[in-house]
Structure 1
Amino acid sequence: MQFQDQLQRTVELSEVPSRIISLVPSQTELLVDLGLKQQLVGITKFCVHPVELRKQIQLVGGTKEVKLKKIRKLQPDLILCNKEENTPEMVEALEKIAPVHVSDIQDIEESLTLIQQYGEIFSVEEKAEKITANIQTEWRNFKQFINDQPKRKVAYFIWRKPWMVAGSDTFIDYLLQLNNFENIFAETPRYPEVDLHRLKEADWVLLSSEPFPFKKKHQLELAEFVNPDKIKFVDGEFFSWYGSRLEKAFRYFKKWHLAELPLQNG
């Protein structure tokens, strides 16, 4: 079997993979939701969903650095990576062990394509079709809701020391746009370090729960630059994870918006 991954790299497989290593948390969650938990032999320490998984499956490192010896001993049939999460050097080293599939997700359509491709690769097409159909339904319903909401300027923080935000060319920025948010740092690609004085331009400053776990004390730190009432906490998994997580994301977005509306109207 031959497949083209999302970097247009050719991936050759002799049969349906029965030993899978996933080095991307959202893709690990997707594999489980596709009914492939038993085929997972290795995951990262950041693969936190489902919560019990890290106690059941061999940990092989993080997303930026893995234990190649451990991976080799696991004798995987296929290793799953992502262009943003994993490094080119890592992919090159892993290819000496087993075939590597690399995803590249910038929007929901590309996420749906990945789910469908996993369905083909792992021979679980029916389950993949069900997940994609659920996401499309939730997406349509959310678009009807969000069309009635005003556009707001936001900054979305992902890190502290240094203070970094999501800029353009990211899946986070794409989801911000779906939420009718205008990213005030959209002129800068990827994840720039920013001047906090610019926060006065924002209607809302969003502090994510991951990769940096922002807390109340960080909201107080930013109070020097922006009204604390404008600083909101958001679940970073819903704003950055793709795959089956999107089945739940749009309901989270709607609930979040509805919770904040009274503050805006009061």
Structure 2
Amino acid sequence: MNGNNDMGPTAAGAGARACPTSLVGLIDAAGTQHAYAGTSARIVSLVPSLTELLFDLGLGDQLVGRTGFCVHPRDAVRTVPKVGGTKDVRIERVRALSPTHVLVNMDENRRETVEELAAFVPNIIVTHPGTPLDNLALFHLLGGVFGAERAALQLGEDLRAALAEASALRTEVPDEAVLYLIWREPWMTVARDTYIAATLAAVGWHTLPEVAGGETGAARYPAFTWDAPWLLGVERVLLSTEPYRFRDAHIGEVAGLAGRPAALVDGEMVSWYGSRAARGVRWLCALRRSLAVGA
């Protein structure tokens, strides 16, 4: 899981390329220290959110490969060669592009794929944001490595402002316990330690059940049945448009099963990190306000 972005390279990143003032902290989620690469980098992104982020950092001209799920910004990515999917990367296609850097994510890409790529790609940058706030470190990392520090700072300021708006909203609208649906037959939701749950919590929506995927025997995306006792604590059901394509037609069915109000949610606004994070938080704030008024 991982939206339409019309900013492109001219909005946040154009003209913002600069040599780094500091290389301190350019450490990825795997603990690897990365050196400054600047305009010499040839980048393959295996993560849709990171592909969008590269364009918003003004780095689109250095992107030489992406997955078929990297669909934003729509017009810009069409000219970038595809290298398969996030889970089924075509290794030889990547090799043919001669990348200096490949961007991956712990949740979205397979360890075996990363190990195979590491045999011929000089730099593998591993990412794993767990909360919206973690995007600040992500901006710093990619902005620092690829010489887009100013654009990274702008994205960070925008994210801080969006999170401040979310914090203010929670003083106006009471928090709610929600069920966030990502799949149907079997019905599936998200654990508390996912990026999705953290994004929802930022605007005052706390996911049930209260489980973490890191707990023994727990799943990050648990299946459930409608007779589960914890469902009694749910106040609202949110139906995500991805990975399952929930639509308006499903709202009545789910509301009947849960005995609670239900609403459709743009899954990209909740699950995509990177430059989508600030817009996602603001979108959720607006949705919370509208549902509160409707209630």
1:142 and 1:166 map into 2 onto residues whose CA distance is 21
Contact 1:200 1:225 in 2 (8 A): no
Q: Secondary structure of the residue that 2:193 maps to in structure 1?
A: coil
Q: Using the TM superposition, give the Cα deviation of residue 139 of structure 1 relative to its aligned residue in structure 2, in angstroms.
A: 1.3
Aligned position for 1:214: 246
Contact 1:17 1:78 in 2 (8 A): no
In 2 relative to 1, CA 14–240 (structure 1 residues): closer, same or farther, beyond 3 Å? closer
Q: Using the TM superposition, give the Cα deviation of residue 182 of structure 1 relative to its aligned residue in structure 2, in angstroms.
A: 2.3
Q: Using the TM superposition, give the Cα deviation of residue 158 of structure 1 relative to its aligned residue in structure 2, in angstroms.
A: 1.2
Aligned position for 2:157: 133
Q: Using the TM superposition, give the Cα deviation of residue 18 of structure 1 relative to its aligned residue in structure 2, in angstroms.
A: 2.4
Percent identity, aligned pairs only, is 33
Residue 161 (structure 1) aligned with residue 185 (structure 2): yes
Contact 1:16 1:121 in 2 (8 A): no
Residue 191 (structure 1) aligned with residue 215 (structure 2): no
Q: Using the TM superposition, give the Cα deviation of residue 162 of structure 1 relative to its aligned residue in structure 2, in angstroms.
A: 2.0
Contact 1:155 1:206 in 2 (8 A): yes
Q: Secondary structure of the residue that 1:85 maps to in structure 2?
A: coil
2:285 and 2:38 map into 1 onto residues whose CA distance is 42
Contact 2:173 2:289 in 1 (8 A): no
Q: 2:292 aligns with which of 251, 261, 266?
A: 261
Residue 36 (structure 1) aligned with residue 68 (structure 2): no
Instruction: Give the counterpart letter for 2:139 in structure 1.
Output: I
Residue 252 (structure 1) aligned with residue 283 (structure 2): yes
Q: Using the TM superposition, give the Cα deviation of residue 16 of structure 1 relative to its aligned residue in structure 2, in angstroms.
A: 5.2
Query: TM-score, normalised on structure 1?
Result: 0.92
1:170 and 1:200 map into 2 onto residues whose CA distance is 22
> Cα deviation per residue 1:33-79 (whole Å; 9 max; x = unaligned)?
00011101101111111012342110111111100010000000100
Residue 203 (structure 1) aligned with residue 235 (structure 2): yes
Contact 2:37 2:147 in 1 (8 A): no
Instruction: Give the counterpart letter for 2:241 in structure 1.
Output: S
Q: 1:143 aligns with which of 167, 174, 181?
A: 167
Contact 2:131 2:198 in 1 (8 A): yes
Instruction: Give the counterpart letter for 1:255 in structure 2.
Output: A
Q: Provide structure 1 residue ranges, at least 5 long, that are not aligned to the other structure.
A: none
Contact 1:207 1:214 in 2 (8 A): yes
2:166 and 2:256 map into 1 onto residues whose CA distance is 35
Residue 108 (structure 1) aligned with residue 132 (structure 2): yes
Q: Which has the higher helix share?
A: 1
Q: How many residues align?
A: 263
Residue 77 (structure 1) aligned with residue 107 (structure 2): no
Worse-superposed segment, 215-224 or 20-29: 215-224
Instruction: Give the counterpart letter for 1:195 in structure 2.
Output: T
In 2 relative to 1, CA 12–91 (structure 1 residues): closer, same or farther, beyond 3 Å? farther
Instruction: Give the counterpart letter for 2:227 in structure 1.
Output: H
Q: Provide structure 2 residue ranges, at least 5 long, that are not aligned to the other structure.
A: 1-22, 214-219
Q: Using the TM superposition, give the Cα deviation of residue 147 of structure 1 relative to its aligned residue in structure 2, in angstroms.
A: 2.1
Contact 1:34 1:127 in 2 (8 A): yes
> Cα deviation per residue 1:133-171 (whole Å; 9 max; x = unaligned)?
111112112211222211211111112232111112101
Aligned position for 2:78: 55
Aligned position for 1:152: 176
Contact 2:166 2:281 in 1 (8 A): yes
Matches within 5 A, 1:77-96: 77-96=100-119
Instruction: Give the counterpart letter for 2:137 in structure 1.
Output: T
Which fold has the larger relative contact order, with Cα–Cα distance below 8 Å and residues 6 or more apart in sequence?
2
Contact 1:64 1:87 in 2 (8 A): yes
Contact 2:36 2:147 in 1 (8 A): no
Q: Which has the higher strand share?
A: 1
Q: Secondary structure of the residue that 1:4 maps to in structure 2?
A: coil
Q: Secondary structure of the residue that 2:180 maps to in structure 1?
A: strand
1:141 and 1:262 map into 2 onto residues whose CA distance is 18
> Cα deviation per residue 1:108-147 (whole Å; 9 max; x = unaligned)?
2321101111111001111111110111112112211222
1:18 and 1:256 map into 2 onto residues whose CA distance is 40
Instruction: Give the counterpart letter for 1:61 in structure 2.
Output: G
